[in-house]
Amino acid sequence: MASFPIFIFLAIAPLFALTDRATDTSSIWEKMEWVLLALIISFTAAHAFDSSFLVSSMFYAIGFTLAFTAHVWVRQTLGNRAGKITVIIFWLAMEYVVLKLRPGPSTFLADSLRLQPDWLRWNIHTGYLGATLWILITNLMVYEAILSEKPFQWYWIVSTLIFLLGPLSYSYSLDNAPIERSAMASLYEGNSGMKDVTYLARGEFVVRTAAWLSTLIILFTFVKSQTTSR
């Protein structure tokens, strides 16, 4: 539903739920094959099921499945205090890696909203991939509201509506043009002609920040796992 992609805000919620099936005593790869399969289908669908994109879709799916796998590993090491926000951090970090390696032809979660620029005028503050953060956070709220162990609690339902409608309402209150996919690609390919000094200075700071945070989380978890094993 590229012209009205509202379902992207709940499509990833089941993948958050799958990580609950991996217990502290199971392998970190437990149930991840379902996440991988879902992402392969999703990335292939993003290219209208063109078989020429199947290999690249599989590589994307493997990479982003690692975000869920890393979350399970962190949770098994640090306990339940490592919430599902780590999935979001790892996903954003993976998008930053993809952006640095292949800024032009790559596929990003934010691309699902590309045909609705009126929803994204606020991305002048976050960068183009701020839309990925919006999608993931809203999906996390949907998971908590519907698919968690204690579903249908009013505060999660209210939070879902706030995270979905808040940025949408704010966008329609602005009159500027959003950062487009082509502008992001041009900037990271080194041939930007943009006059937006703020974006030129910040770039995609949301995913860049997530990359640093994910590195710190992984290092801390690794040290914790080593000290615990001794």
- Please say whether the beta carbons of 66 and 58 come within 8 A: no
pLDDT (0 to 100) of residue 130: 96
> Any idea which of 113-117, 162-166, 188-192, 193-197 has the lowest mean pLDDT?
193-197
Q: Tens of pLDDT along 180-199?
A: 999 999 899 887 666 777 78
pTM of the model: 0.92
Q: How confident is the model at residue 28 (pLDDT cuts 50, 70, 90)?
A: confident
Q: What is the pLDDT of residue 196?
A: 72
pLDDT at 192: 60
Burial of 90 (0-12, 13-18, 19+ CB in 10 A): buried
- 145 closest CA partner among 8, 9, 1, 4: 9
Sequence spans of domains, the chain? 6-222
Which tens digit of pLDDT belongs to each residue from 42-77?
999 888 888 888 898 999 999 999 999 999 999 989
Examine the pLDDT at 107 and tell me if it is beyond 60: yes
